[in-house]
Amino acid sequence: MGLTDLLSEQLVFPALDAGGSDEAIEMLAIRLAAFHRDVDRDGLLHALRERERQVTTALGDGVAIPHARLAGLDRTVAAFARSRAGVPWESIDGKPTHLVFLLAGPADSPGAYLKVLAGVSRLLSNEGCRIRLMEAESETDMLFVLREAESRTRRAA
């Protein structure tokens, strides 16, 4: 299963409007839990906030990957958002975050979750992919960019 298999148009948000990292995380977690009704929204928010308190998930280059493992979850789930204006985040390079990929995986099965986390990091480290995601017009276009980039990454491996 690829990382884009975790996303649908309902989990891609091309116009995130958040005043900071906590608000961005909360908005994505609420939408993710609304889509996946078996996900404990409060537990997810708590786990994501705890992870963010340990160390920022903003990697620089306008990318953040808030992530956490959650007890009771039987699979990895994800949501993806873009903020054209940028979200203030404690990023390594001090710049705003524009692309946010939220991940939650099972607490008792870290292998698949870590593989998805590494895949997201690899995709979003590609400048061309980031540029195309920023230029995409809609949820559908953003998913297309991610699927195409993921497919190229698989072929190269």
Catalytic residues: 67
| 3-state secondary structure (DSSP) of residue 109 | coil
**DSSP letter string over 34-94?**
HHSTTS-HHHHHHHHHHHHHHS--EEETTEE--EEEETT--S-EEEEEEEEEEE----TTS
Task: Report how far apart, in Å, the C-alpha atoms of 10 and of each of 14, 41, 155 are.
Answer: 11, 17, 28
DSSP symbol at 125: T
